[in-house]
Chain A
């Protein structure tokens, strides 16, 4: 079955330190992969996407993610966390259909 797994339900970092949010996907076909962010009481916003071009994808707000086929991973990183990064982050996979399969989310807390 096609699926995506977010390995951490909560991640806490201090402001100014690096962020790593982990995501693994099932490898039946070549997927398209996305990261979405949801701030409290808001809709989801696309951060970045991978669709079989460059494996290192840069997104908005300084986030980037690397597609690693050998590890079936698509981890999200940011060199330096900001207070405004505190939100819920969703890793999402699509296998050339209109159905997006969402991970269970990782809540990022940023402490001053």
Chain B
């Protein structure tokens, strides 16, 4: 059983398109996150939700919009894709906030052409 699952695993698209990445966790965790890993492997938090409420919203373009329909799901929608959006996007979850103990999905590699 996959604890944190993301779909799709690979996404290749043209500039200007809109795309979504879905994330689901079956761990019963309250908190979910989106992280972006660039080509140099640097990881940075984008968003965090606790019980469907947004608690962290880092400085990301407003083309990125997270949505949490329930506490087991956190989706990421990206409008008007740009070349610089190419990266691996990781979803993660934790039992509660401030533990630092995150469970990560396997990542979604987005390539914008």
Question: A46 and B40 in contact (CB under 8 A), knowing A98-B97, A99-B56, A100-B45?
Answer: no
Q: Which of the 9-residue segments B11-19, B62-70, B73-81, B99-107 touches chain A?
A: B99-107
Q: Which of the 9-residue segments A36-44, A68-76, A78-86 touches chain B?
A: A36-44
For residue A51, which residues in chain B have a CB less than 8 angstroms away from its CB? 100
Asked if residues A46 and B41 are in contact (CB atoms below 8 Å), the reply is no
Number of B residues near A (Cβ < 8 Å) is 23
Contacting residue for B4 out of A43, A100, A104, CB 8 A: A43
Q: A75 to B44, alpha carbons, bound, how many Å?
A: 22
Q: A8 to B24, alpha carbons, bound, how many Å?
A: 35
Interface status of B90 (Cβ within 8 A of chain A): yes
Asked if residues B43 and A102 are in contact (CB atoms below 8 Å), the reply is yes
Asked if residues A104 and B104 are in contact (CB atoms below 8 Å), the reply is no
Q: A22 to B43, alpha carbons, bound, how many Å?
A: 18
Question: A49 and B100 in contact (CB under 8 A), knowing A41-B106, A42-B106, A44-B90?
Answer: yes
* A43 to B, closest residue via Cβ: B104
Asked if residues A98 and B98 are in contact (CB atoms below 8 Å), the reply is yes
Interface residues of A in 16-64 (CB under 8 A from B): 32, 34, 38, 41-46, 49, 51
| Partner-B contacts on A (CB < 8 A) | 32, 34, 38, 41-46, 49, 51, 88, 90, 92, 94, 96-100, 102, 104-105
